[in-house]
Chains A and B, each alone.
Chain A
């Protein structure tokens, strides 16, 4: 998942927010590493975000 300042600025603009070149550069830089990490994830097809709370409940000591 690559990311560049133009993509950042375009995403913000689409939401009605204008970013300066400096802001877009900084945002792209700070997102690069975590986005690369996310891109390396492989989560099972059936996992849903809402399984979070259930996982906490199941993880209790019994």
Chain B
């Protein structure tokens, strides 16, 4: 039997269901790995070893109740579980206990998942690098001098380090895709409204999305299939039927059209990143996918709308705390939230209206020509923690804008995007691409991503402890 720590989530769930391994064994392995890796990568904020082992024993004593029966997961520390601390990566909520349980956690519980604890994250999910001045920086398991990406930093680090089989993140401007890119993982930022946000910490209500970081495309498909769908506790959760994402992973992609963006996504891209995208395109071509050059509309305008929307919504959510306890924020988060206070109401509303008006045109112009777009996630290879340690000073704005530039347009437009690993840079850090599609076209992205994965070995590679 191969090392269970290196299984995918789908393989682990199948092994537990077939009683080839117990949930207790899987969970004990996960706990041991969490303890071994924690001093190096600081992925966990709170490890719930005793609770997880008790849950694993119950799982072993009962018939399999779902597709995640007995499989240990852990999640970004912003998903509320009744009676448990949800720090949101902050000092302000360091001891705050939730009085409700997030819909996504209830759905994972119902599928039989074991919850191993809460994971490190950027303070209030407002940062793309993985720095955290309250709980300690999260570090990349491939090289601890490098950043994990954020804001779902612990989600990326813990899944890459083969501690847990999947982790929920959240994505308001790239916060699932960037750590997926940095840690060599698959991450799905779903269509806005595809997954309930009830019981999830808000950053920017009209941009926030919930999704998993995983070791394979099929794993991401399984988790999304479980958590997606309408929710009476979140009126923004869409009633659009949830497709069979796992079945989509086995579909042929021959004849599909993959758009290669002309403009914006090919501007100011590092040579290693650009080469990895070109190589990925060739793999798709070999699979019978038709590559189509697609001219990009004015995405700088879309990004500007995103700055207004996230800035104003986040500042509104945090206004009372900013007035009462500004010193409890890190310099960077306080600076970014303070900026949002000054956004005029009319500018915010114009940004919202512009987004509503831009979506039909973008879909018609872009997805009239292709089934999905192939884009870089990041304009550069994974930087070091030191290189991106800019605090709230003058270097902050340009750096954060550059790091989120390629992800954010799909948040503003509400479109789904799947991040997939596609190689390594000269320093041995992972590289990846994103596939973006029409609203609610997650199944198409999974089909393309899984087909690519079958032709390559990147997803199977793991960092050494």
Q: Please list the residues of chain A having a beta carbon within 8 angstroms of any beta carbon in chain B.
A: 1, 3, 7-8, 11-12, 15-17, 19, 23, 26-31, 33-35, 37-41, 43-44, 47-53, 55-61
From known contacts A15-B319, A49-B356, infer whether A1 and B344 are also in contact, taking CB-CB under 8 Å: yes
From known contacts A30-B397, A38-B304, infer whether A60 and B335 are also in contact, taking CB-CB under 8 Å: no
Least Cβ distance of B92 to chain A in Å?
Answer: 15
B99, CB-defined interface residue at 8 Å: no
Q: Please list the residues of chain B having a beta carbon within 8 angstroms of any beta carbon in chain A.
A: 191-193, 206, 236, 238, 240, 300-301, 303-305, 307-308, 311, 319, 322-323, 326, 335, 338-339, 341-344, 347, 349-357, 359-360, 363, 367, 392, 394, 396-397, 414, 438-441, 444
From known contacts A37-B300, A38-B304, A60-B441, infer whether A48 and B353 are also in contact, taking CB-CB under 8 Å: yes
Q: Is the CB of B322 within 8 A of A31?
A: no
Q: Name the one of A17, A35, A40, A47 contacting B341, with C-beta atoms under 8 angstroms.
A: A17
Least Cβ distance of B403 to chain A in Å?
Answer: 15
From known contacts A52-B359, A57-B439, A58-B360, infer whether A30 and B339 are also in contact, taking CB-CB under 8 Å: yes
Q: Is the CB of B342 within 8 A of A53?
A: no
Q: Is the CB of A38 within 8 A of B351?
A: yes
User: Which residues of chain B are near A8, meaning CB under 8 Å?
Assistant: 339, 341-342
User: Which residues of chain A are near B238, meaning CB under 8 Å?
Assistant: 53, 56-57
Q: Name the one of A23, A29, A30, A56 contacting B439, with C-beta atoms under 8 angstroms.
A: A56
User: Which residues of chain B are near A12, meaning CB under 8 Å?
Assistant: 338, 341-342
Q: A41 to B356, alpha carbons, bound, how many Å? A: 13
Q: A1 to B308, alpha carbons, bound, how many Å? A: 13
Q: A60 to B194, alpha carbons, bound, how many Å? A: 12
Q: Is the CB of B338 within 8 A of A55?
A: no
Least Cβ distance of A50 to chain B in Å?
Answer: 8
User: DSSP class of B's interface residues: helix, strand, loop or mixed?
Assistant: helix
| Additional A-B contacts beyond A16-B323, A55-B356 (9; CB < 8 A) | A8-B342, A23-B335, A27-B338, A27-B341, A34-B305, A35-B308, A38-B347, A44-B357, A52-B356
From known contacts A29-B397, A37-B301, infer whether A53 and B236 are also in contact, taking CB-CB under 8 Å: yes
From known contacts A31-B343, A35-B347, A49-B356, infer whether A59 and B304 are also in contact, taking CB-CB under 8 Å: no
11 A–B contact pairs at CB < 8 A?
Answer: A8-B342, A11-B341, A15-B323, A28-B342, A33-B304, A35-B308, A49-B356, A51-B357, A59-B367, A60-B438, A61-B367
Q: A44 to B363, alpha carbons, bound, how many Å? A: 18
Q: Is the CB of A31 within 8 A of B339?
A: yes
Q: Is the CB of B307 within 8 A of A34?
A: yes
Q: Is the CB of A43 within 8 A of B357?
A: yes
The 3 closest A-B pairs by CB, nearest first: A49-B352, A37-B304, A34-B304
From known contacts A15-B319, A17-B319, A17-B338, infer whether A61 and B354 are also in contact, taking CB-CB under 8 Å: no
Least Cβ distance of A2 to chain B in Å?
Answer: 11
User: Which residues of chain A are near B338, meaning CB under 8 Å?
Assistant: 12, 17, 19, 23, 27
Q: Is the CB of B347 within 8 A of A17?
A: no
Q: A11 to B344, alpha carbons, bound, how many Å? A: 9
Q: Name the one of A11, A31, A52, A60 contacting B206, with C-beta atoms under 8 angstroms.
A: A52
Least Cβ distance of A19 to chain B in Å?
Answer: 6
Least Cβ distance of B372 to chain A in Å?
Answer: 11
Q: Please give me the residue from chain B that is nearest to A33 by CB atom.
A: B304
User: Which residues of chain B are near A41, meaning CB under 8 Å?
Assistant: 301, 350, 354
Q: Is the CB of A17 within 8 A of B323?
A: yes
Least Cβ distance of A54 to chain B in Å?
Answer: 8
User: Which residues of chain B are near A56, meaning CB under 8 Å?
Assistant: 191-193, 238, 359, 414, 439-440
Q: A1 to B304, alpha carbons, bound, how many Å? A: 14
Q: A27 to B322, alpha carbons, bound, how many Å? A: 15
Q: Is the CB of A34 within 8 A of B319?
A: no
Least Cβ distance of A29 to chain B in Å?
Answer: 7
Q: A57 to B191, alpha carbons, bound, how many Å? A: 10
